[in-house]
């Protein structure tokens, strides 16, 4: 595989109990980009991210990150933000910082501590005593304090208020390793459109569009949000729409 | 990296267990004090003096026993829960999203859980034994010096007794590890499906137990066909050789099972991880 590409998927497929989540995904992602992985709920975004992380095994096809199959090496260069809290509730912020510092060579502890300080989070604060929003912010801080080659951010702005959304997007944009790539999955396009270099549209487990945002704007004369609504328009059944 | 994982796992697993261990030891000491006081002559005289004293004494004894037994039960339940839940939550639940994205091998994750779970079981077992020993010896008015003498005498009942004790301890530790890994292998099999994971894990555990029993029966059957029972009866004439062969056999059987369960768990987690 071409190691100049950061991510290469070939014929990637995944099914759960016969239900297809991803099918025949061919995708090549370059370095130094912010890429939106966009699609409605159930389109396969999380499945694709989990496969890249090695948390799920593909049913068909292969994927490589920096030329390597998902494994110990790829985990050392991927910084992953899942769509759920993965902390053990007994931990304190300090324990998490110790853990990330101990396991990830690219973790910048000083940066993480500074970001925690801005939010008034103390190293001795207990995770289980924090609000859901604060936990999500700490998780984001830890993930963005790594100088990773690939950031996989799964729905980082879903279910948060607009102020928190701005904080999250600013944290992402101001802290990522600019030689690396961010793949950010969401269906809330308006909020992230301004930071994207490329978009990948997923529908029913298939890649239906992978283009540079500037190209789309120049050619179509539309925003990504407008294009998304056009591509994923749902027509009610009583108006002749299909049953999905 | 395995050391770091073990350190993390120790903190996760032992924070509740240490409290119950401390509570059990405190209760053991209290039980010993209660029974030591009960054995005093002045106490007997006091008991004879009034009916109320007798009732209070009975209540104190019953309450102490209830708390003691409850702590024993809590310790057993907590230890089993730690073995199962730390693996299930830590590697197959939400915490798995962090653990499986750390740049470590699957065998390191599994080993860290297995070592700490085995330490928890071993620690709880030793504590239960010490506690029971202390309470029973206090009730029976046996002194520590007497106990030490008995142990020394037991060690001299046979020339190789110290070796047998050490071998027995090693096999017991191996047996604990094997039992922990049997649970892990079952949980790993359970996560292969998307629904009814616990049910499949339970089925796998029972299935593994059944297969092992069948293998053991077949071993005995074919062993007798090959004249193994005759060889054993000849060997039993030499007690020392017989004991060592039995120990070696137990060690090999436990070790083989441990290795198989570890490989099954590691292969499933490396190649068939299905974190939903």
Instruction: With CA atoms as reference, report the closest residue to A183 among A214, A209, A149.
Output: A149
Q: How far is CA B63 from CA B29, B30, B69, B240, in A?
A: 15, 12, 10, 48
Distance from CA of A210 to the nearest CA of B (A): 27
**Token reading at A143:** 């993930």
Handedness of CA A128, A129, A133, A135 (dihedral sign): negative
Q: Which candidate, A143, A153, A212, A140, places its Cα nearest to that of A188? A: A153
DSSP conformation class of A237 = G
Give, in degrees to the nearest 5, the angle at Cα B149 between B147 and B151. Answer: 70
- Tens-digit pLDDT profile for residues A116-126: 888 888 889 99
The single residue listed with the structure tokens 């240490």 is B18
Residues B11 and B86 sit within 8 Å (Cβ to Cβ): no
Both structure tokens of A92: 């304190």
- pLDDT tens digits, one per residue of A182-195: 999 987 788 788 88
Q: Which whole number is the average pLDDT over A32-61? A: 92
CA distance B162 to B62: 39
CB of A19 less than 8 A from some CB of B: no
d(CA B83, CA A176): 39
CB B176 within 8 A of CB B182: no
Tokens standing for residue A40:
């409605």
pTM of the full structure: 0.84
Mean pLDDT of the region A208-236: 83
Which residue, among A14, A19, A72, would best test binding to B if mutated, counting the most B CBs under 10 Å from its CB?
A72
The pLDDT assigned to B61 comes to: 85
**Is A72 touching B (CB cutoff 8 A)?**
yes
* Closest C-alpha to B135, from B234, B67, B184, B53: B67
pLDDT at A237: 57
- Residue A18 backbone zone (phi > 0: left; psi -120 to 50: alpha; other: beta): left
Contacts of A16 in chain B (CB under 8 A): 194
What is the structure's pLDDT at A2?
Answer: 45
Q: Smallest Cα–Cα separation from B173: which of B84, B72, B254?
A: B254
**Residue A198: phi, psi to the nearest 5?**
-135, 160
A88 touches chain B (CB under 8 A): yes
Mean pLDDT of A33-42: 90
Q: Read off the pLDDT of residues A62-101 as tens digits, 9 standing for 90 and up.
A: 999 999 999 999 999 999 999 888 888 889 999 999 999 9
Give pLDDT tens digits for A153-169. Answer: 998 887 677 777 888 88
List CB contacts (< 8 A) between A68 and chain B. Answer: none
- Is A55 close to B97, i.e. CB distance below 8 A? yes
- Site from B9, B90, B101 to mutate, A interface, most A CB atoms within 10 angstroms: B101
The chain B residue lying nearest A77, using CA atoms, is: B103
**pLDDT mean values, one per 10 residues, chain B (276 residues):** 90 89 93 82 68 78 91 92 89 92 94 91 92 87 82 80 88 90 94 88 94 91 84 79 87 94 93 84
**pLDDT tens for each residue of A136-152:** 889 989 999 999 999 99
Residues of A in contact with B272 (CB under 8 A): 57
The answer to whether residues B112 and B5 touch, using CB atoms and an 8 Å cutoff, is yes
CB pairs under 8 A between A and B: 61
Please report, to the nearest 10 degrees, the dihedral formed by the alpha carbons of residues A92, A97, A101, A107 taken in order.
150
CB-based contact A87 B98, cutoff 8 Å: yes
- Does the beta-carbon distance from B105 to A72 stay under 8 Å? yes
Question: A88 and B104: CB-CB below 8 Å?
Answer: no
A19 to chain B: closest CA residue: B194
Show residues of chain A in contact with B195, CB under 8 Å.
17
Nearest CA in chain A to B90: A88
CB A118 within 8 A of CB A127: no
SS3 of chain B: helix, strand, coil, percent, to 5: 85, 0, 15
- Average of per-residue pLDDT values in chain A: 87
Helical segments of chain A, H only: 45-53, 72-77, 93-103, 109-118, 132-144, 162-175, 189-192, 213-220, 224-231
Task: Report which of A119, A216, A51 is spatially closest to residue B273, judged by C-alpha positions.
Answer: A51
Residue A41 contacts B, CB cutoff 8 Å? no
Share of chain A above pLDDT 70, in %: 94
- Chain B positions touching A82 (Cβ under 8 A) are 97
- Residue B4's alpha-carbon distances to A19, A242, B82, B109, B119, in angstroms, are 39, 53, 19, 10, 16
CA dihedral for B137, B139, B141, B143, sign (positive or negative): positive
**Which residues on chain B are in Cβ contact (under 8 Å) with A57?**
271-274
- Closest C-alpha among B78, B38, B31 to residue B57: B38
Closest-CA residue in chain B for A139? Answer: B98
Answer whether B97 sits within 8 Å of A87, measured CB to CB: no
- Calculate the average pLDDT of chain B: 88
- Whether B195 and B271 have beta carbons less than 8 Å apart is answered as no
The three-state secondary structure class of B241 is helix
Cα–Cα nearest to B37, from B48, B24, B47, B27: B47
Distances (CA, A) of B65 to A34, B27, B31, B44, B71: 65, 9, 8, 20, 10
Residue B223 is predicted with a pLDDT of 84
Q: Does A20 touch chain B (CB under 8 A)?
A: no
The pLDDT of residue A164: 77
- From chain A residues 129-168, the ones with a CB under 8 A of any chain B CB are none
> Cα distance from A201 to chain B (closest Cα, Å)?
23
Give yes or no for a contact between A199 and A209, defined as CB atoms under 8 angstroms apart: yes
ipTM: 0.87
């Amino acid at each position: 595989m071409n190691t100049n590409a950061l991510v290469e998927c070939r014929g990637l497929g995944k099914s759960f109990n016969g239900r297809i989540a991803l099918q025949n995904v061919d995708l090549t992602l370059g370095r130094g980009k912010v890429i939106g992985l966009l699609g409605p709920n159930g389109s396969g975004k999380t499945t694709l991210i989990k496969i890249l992380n090695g948390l799920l095994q593909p049913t068909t096809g292969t994927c490589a990150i920096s030329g390597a199959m998902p494994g110990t090496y790829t985990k050392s260069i991927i910084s992953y933000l899942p769509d759920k809290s993965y902390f053990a509730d007994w931990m304190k912020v300090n324990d998490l910082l110790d853990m990330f510092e101990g396991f990830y060579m690219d973790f910048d502890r000083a940066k993480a501590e500074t970001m925690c300080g801005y939010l008034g989070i103390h190293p001795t604060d207990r995770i289980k005593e924090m609000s859901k929003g604060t936990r999500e912010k700490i998780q984001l801080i830890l993930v963005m304090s790594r100088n990773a080659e690939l950031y996989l951010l799964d729905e980082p702005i879903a279910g948060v208020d607009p102020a928190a959304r701005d904080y999250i997007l600013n944290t992402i944009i101001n802290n990522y390793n600019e030689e690396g790539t961010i793949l950010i999955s969401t269906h809330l396009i308006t909020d992230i459109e301004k930071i994207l270099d490329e978009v990948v549209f997923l529908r029913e487990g298939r890649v239906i569009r992978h283009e540079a945002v500037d190209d789309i704007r120049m050619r179509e004369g539309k925003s990504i949000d407008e294009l998304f609504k056009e591509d994923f328009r749902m027509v009610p059944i009583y108006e002749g729409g299909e049953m999905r | 990296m395995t050391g770091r994982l073990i350190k993390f796992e120790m903190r996760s697993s032992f924070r509740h267990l240490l409290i119950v261990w401390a509570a059990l030891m405190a209760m053991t000491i209290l039980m010993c004090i209660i029974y030591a006081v009960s054995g005093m002559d002045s106490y007997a005289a006091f008991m004879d003096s009034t009916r109320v004293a007798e009732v209070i004494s009975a209540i104190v004894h019953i309450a102490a026993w209830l708390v003691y037994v409850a702590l024993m039960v809590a310790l057993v339940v907590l230890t089993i829960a730690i073995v199962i839940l730390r693996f299930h939550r830590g590697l197959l639940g939400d915490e798995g999203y962090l653990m499986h994205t750390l740049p470590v091998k699957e065998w390191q994750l599994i080993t860290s859980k297995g070592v700490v779970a085995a330490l928890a079981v071993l620690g709880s077992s030793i504590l239960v034994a010490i506690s029971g020993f202390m309470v029973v010896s206090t009730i029976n008015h046996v002194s520590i010096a007497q106990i030490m003498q008995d142990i020394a005498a037991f060690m001299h009942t046979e020339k190789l007794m110290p070796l047998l004790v050490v071998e027995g301890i090693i096999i017991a530790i191996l047996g604990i590890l094997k039992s922990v890994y049997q649970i892990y292998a079952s949980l790993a099999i359970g996560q292969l499906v998307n629904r009814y994971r616990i049910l499949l894990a339970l089925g796998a555990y029972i299935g593994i137990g059944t297969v092992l029993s069948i293998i053991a029966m077949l071993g005995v059957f074919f062993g007798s066909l090959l004249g193994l029972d005759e060889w054993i009866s000849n060997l039993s004439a030499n007690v020392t050789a017989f004991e060592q062969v039995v120990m070696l056999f137990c060690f090999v059987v436990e070790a083989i099972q441990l290795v198989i369960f570890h490989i099954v768990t590691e292969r499933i987690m490396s190649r068939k991880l299905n974190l939903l």
